[in-house]
Amino acid sequence: MSARKSDIFILFIALNLSAFLFFFLDALSMQADTQKKLSEERAMIEKLGLTDLCLFTDARYMRHPSMADLNTPFQDHPTSIEHFPSGTLAEPPRHLRLR
Amino acid sequence: MIQVMDVRKVFNAGRPNEFVAMNKVSLSIPRHEVTVLKGPSGSGKTTLLGILGCMARPTSGRIMLAEREITSLPERFLTEIRRTTFGFVFQQFNLIKGITVIENVILPAYPTGENPAILKKRAMELLSLFNLSGKADSKIEWLSGGEAQRTSIARALMNDPEVIIADEPTANLDSRLSKEFMEIVSGLKEQEKTIIIASHDPIVYDSPIVDRVVEMRDGKIISGI
Amino acid sequence: MNRINKHRNILDFTLSSLLRRKRKNTALVLVYILVVFGLASVLFSTQALKREACSILQRSPEVVIQRLVAGRHELIPTSYIDKIKDVRGVQTVKRRLWGYYYDPTVGANYTLMVPDDPAVAEGTIVIGKGVARTLRAEKGDLLPFKANDGFFVSLEVGDIISSDSELVSSDLVLMNEGDFRQITGVPAGYFTDMVLSVRNVKELPTIAEKIRRLAPDTRPIVKDDILRTYETIFDWRGGILLVILAGAIMAFIIFAWDKASGLSSEERKEIGILKGIGWETSDVILMKFWEGTVISLSSFLLGCVFAYIHIFYASSALFEPVLKGWAVLYPKFRLIPYIDPLQLATLFFLTVIPYTVATIIPSWRAATVDPDSVMRL
């Protein structure tokens, strides 16, 4: 009977919490890279006047959701059913629905 | 040591299956003695045992423990008293399955918050007293009848109680183990413990170390006061 | 010291007790971890993405003017620039020339764009990392584009955009205006849309109103609209995410139900024995508390740790098929680590509290039993 069970459990919890601590410190240490990435992205956006993230390239209204007109999400008629998988992940933007 | 006066215990009072387990029982248990409660099943000895050991409250009557009235003590205090004063050996041993022998022995002392190292040491001492040191880390299921019985006695002694209460301790044992049990009781008596046993086994109540035999029938004491 | 030891002692017994039913409890913990992992993964990735989006899109244009005909996005004639640039409060007006191109060889969609300053040399293109990956193209390669007139235009890859900005540039093909018009068929004198910068952001509504009167067939899209699009992206209330959340909640309910539905006779007997050997009701409740906490807390912590590793070190590897959908081109990017404390706390309460409570409640009754009953077991 070497280590008590409760000690092992407490150690387990401590390990998990230190994992979180490690993640936090690791993220901090990557600050330089993070900032570089962000500034590259921002520069691109500003230079080209971009308005959307390139997340979904399967459908036009998913590639540029903020630019989408009323028509394309509904294809050719208003009750057309969504058939792009990425459409299930993101709703049509608010400014479209409110107009 | 323990005194019960005019104690009555009624189960399911007021309902159709009302049952009077004990009817106006008065008894005095002296210190450092071995008292046996004898009688057929249903005679009320298990109930009396429960009341003597502060496990159950009487429907009416009074209980004194070491000249102190404990009849109407609140639950918390009663539990504290029970834990420190009494050690129980049950008929079915009632050991917790799936954990080791030593864990079972230490179990009564867990809530006291005592240093675990000290607890473990005391448990090992008790186990060696009963020749169970080698089985300390074995699971309960692997023990023989005699070993299980000795484990349950060791558990009863964990909190170093003054009084040992045993309910039909030899009911599931053969003659050899029953005699072994009485030898253990003799050793406990030498350590100045008070012992109360409920049994209808002659090996128990005919044993020379027994100081007094109280006979019960139908919830009343019929002899031995 | 006493109290700590008491907790440790009871915890010891609880752990021994849980280890007795090793298989059942291991299976329970594994499934629990899986549910927390799934939920936390979704949580972390959507939160991080939303945060990054809203942060970088602050640099997007103040206003985009789009022309609509029959509800559809239509090209804007150059004359509109003159109409709008004189509106009071408008600082600059720039035309944007962009569109989509479908490449049948790989089945991928690209976004073609014409940058003005600096312009791309004729005959060359600057491609995003995703395009380069899909076509396995390198600098100097010649890529064919099928033009609107049926002929092919070959363009040389002049440069590949750094992967640092893949989140916004992965599918871009930057080209010269002449090449763009030839390929897309957008006639001279027309462009895709306009971007404006204004002197005072507070005047936006007034400016928008004026533009609406000058050019009634256009609609403005302001930066707020853009940001809000990405704030609500991956919203809990829609689609797959709702299904995932509902599934997870169901799972937690089922776990808790199993516990809350009562004790087995064996468990009841054990509680009786504990009471019989001197445990108080509160000690039994404490044990049950630890029993619930050990399982749910362990699952929560491990699930979250694995989720974090999954999302921020393994780039959401398991979500890739879902996010990719039917797209051939998919951006590769490492999310900037971010955890929303409020949502993490919610997850914690959802995971740990119901299960622990469900473990304690049914034992309450059994724990208050008269220890005397153990004699009759």
Q: How far apart are CA B159 and CA B110, in angstroms?
A: 10
Element (H, E) at B205: helix B202-205
CB neighbour class for C336 (10 Å; exposed up to 12, middle 13-18, buried from 19) = buried
Q: How far apart are CA C17 and CA C29, in angstroms?
A: 15
Say whether both A31 and A56 belong to one domain.
no
Rounded (5°) CA angle A29-A35-A37: 110
C151 three-class SS: coil
Beta strand residue intervals within C54-105, DSSP E: 63-69, 72-74, 76-77, 90-96, 98-103
Say whether both C213 and C110 belong to one domain.
yes
- Mean pLDDT (whole number) for A42-67: 86
Beta-bridge mates of residue C159:
C126
User: Considering C191, C223, C255, which residue would you say is the last residue of a domain?
Assistant: C223
Say whether both A44 and A72 belong to one domain.
no
Cα-Cα-Cα-Cα dihedral of C243, C249, C251, C254, to 10°? -130
- Chain A contact for C128 (CB, 8 A cutoff): yes
CA-based end-to-end distance of chain C: 36
Q: Print the domain residue range for A82.
A: 51-99
Say whether both C65 and C158 belong to one domain.
yes
Task: Identify the weakest region by mean pLDDT among B38-47, B100-109, C14-23, C134-143.
Answer: B38-47
Partner-chain contact A57 C171, CB within 8 Å: yes
Task: Identify the weakest region by mean pLDDT among C139-148, C172-181, C242-251.
Answer: C242-251
Q: How far apart are CA B27 and CA B36, in angstroms?
A: 12
Say whether both C41 and C65 belong to one domain.
no
Say whether both C276 and C152 belong to one domain.
no
Binning pLDDT at 50, 70 and 90, where does residue C377 land? low
Mutate: best of C29, C60, C286, C302, partner A, most A CBs <10 A: C60
Q: Which residues of A touch C234 (CB under 8 A)?
A: 89-90
pLDDT of residue C252: 82
Provide the H-helix boundaries in chain C. 2-20, 22-56, 79-85, 129-135, 166-169, 177-184, 204-214, 223-231, 239-260, 265-276, 281-308, 320-324, 341-367
Neighbours of chain C (3+ CB pairs under 8 A): A, B
Binning pLDDT at 50, 70 and 90, where does residue A1 land? very low
Mutate: best of C22, C286, C375, C376, partner B, most B CBs <10 A: C375
Mean pLDDT of chain C: 88
pLDDT of residue B113: 82
- Mean pLDDT (whole number) for C330-348: 87
Q: Print the domain residue range for C78.
A: 60-223
Domain membership of residue C228 (yes or no) is no
Say whether both C185 and C263 belong to one domain.
no
- Which one-letter DSSP state was computed for residue C162? -
Tokens 């504990």 locate to: C274
Beta-carbon count within 10 A of B179 CB: 14
Task: Identify the weakest region by mean pLDDT among A66-80, C11-25, C275-289.
Answer: A66-80
Say whether both A57 and A98 belong to one domain.
yes
Say whether both C69 and C167 belong to one domain.
yes
Question: Total domain count for chain A?
Answer: 2
- Which one-letter DSSP state was computed for residue C313? I
Q: Which residues of A touch C66 (CB under 8 A)?
A: 67, 69
CA-based end-to-end distance of chain A: 71
Per-run averaged pLDDT (10 residues), chain B, 225 residues: 83 78 85 88 82 84 86 81 87 86 91 87 90 87 87 91 89 84 88 89 87 86 77
Q: Which residues of C touch B82 (CB under 8 A)?
A: 278, 371
Sorted by sequence, the CB contacts under 8 Å of residue B123 that are 6+ apart come out as B102, B105, B106, B136, B154, B158
pLDDT, tens digit, 9 for 90 and up, residues C53-85 = 999 999 999 999 999 888 788 899 999 888 888
- Mean pLDDT (whole number) for A59-87: 70
Question: Total domain count for chain B?
Answer: 1
Sorted by sequence, the CB contacts under 8 Å of residue A76 that are 6+ apart come out as none
Say whether both A12 and A44 belong to one domain.
yes
Measured on CA atoms in the order C29, C35, C38, C39, is the torsion positive or negative?
A: negative
Say whether both C143 and C6 belong to one domain.
no
Q: How far apart are CA C283 and CA C292, in angstroms?
A: 14
Q: Which residues of A touch C326 (CB under 8 A)?
A: 58, 84-86
Q: How far is CA C82 from CA B153, C85, C90, C92, C115, in A?
A: 101, 5, 12, 11, 20
Say whether both A57 and A99 belong to one domain.
yes
Say whether both A18 and A33 belong to one domain.
yes
Question: Total domain count for chain C?
Answer: 2
pLDDT of residue A42: 93
Binning pLDDT at 50, 70 and 90, where does residue C155 land? very high
Q: Which two tokens stand for residue C160?
A: 């590949």
B92 three-class SS: coil
Binning pLDDT at 50, 70 and 90, where does residue A80 land? low
Say whether both A2 and A43 belong to one domain.
yes
Partner-chain contact C375 B50, CB within 8 Å: yes
Q: Which residues of B touch C372 (CB under 8 A)?
A: 50, 55-56
Say whether both C268 and C176 belong to one domain.
no
Q: Print the domain residue range for B25.
A: 2-223
Sorted by sequence, the CB contacts under 8 Å of residue A5 that are 6+ apart come out as C11, C12, C15, C16, C19
Q: Looking at CA atoms only, how far is residue B99 from chain C in angstroms?
A: 6
**C362 backbone dihedrals φ, ψ, rounded to 5°:** -65, -20
Q: Is pLDDT at A93 greater than 80 in this prediction?
A: no
Q: What is the CATH number of the domain that holds B149?
A: 3.40.50.300
pLDDT of residue B17: 80
Interface of A with B in 3-22 (CB under 8 A): 4
- Chain B contact for C279 (CB, 8 A cutoff): yes
Residue C208, Cα to own-chain centre: how many angstroms?
A: 32
pLDDT of residue A72: 62
Provide the H-helix boundaries in C76-128. 79-85
Provide the H-helix boundaries in A1-99. 5-29, 31-48, 60-63, 94-98
Say whether both A44 and A73 belong to one domain.
no
Q: Is the link from the previous residue into C118 a cis peptide, with omega within 30 of 0?
A: yes
Say whether both A36 and A65 belong to one domain.
no
* Residue from the list B94, B97, B103 with its beta carbon closest to the beta carbon of C276: B94
- Chain B contact for A1 (CB, 8 A cutoff): yes
Say whether both A32 and A62 belong to one domain.
no
Residue B92's nearest CA partner among C358, C269, C207, A3 is: C269
pLDDT of residue B225: 67
Q: How far is CA A26 from CA A10, A21, B129, C337, in A?
A: 24, 8, 56, 10
- Mean pLDDT (whole number) for C180-203: 91
Q: Looking at CA atoms only, how far is residue B216 from chain C in angstroms?
A: 18
Say whether both A36 and A4 belong to one domain.
yes
% chain C with pLDDT above 70: 98
Say whether both C241 and C257 belong to one domain.
yes
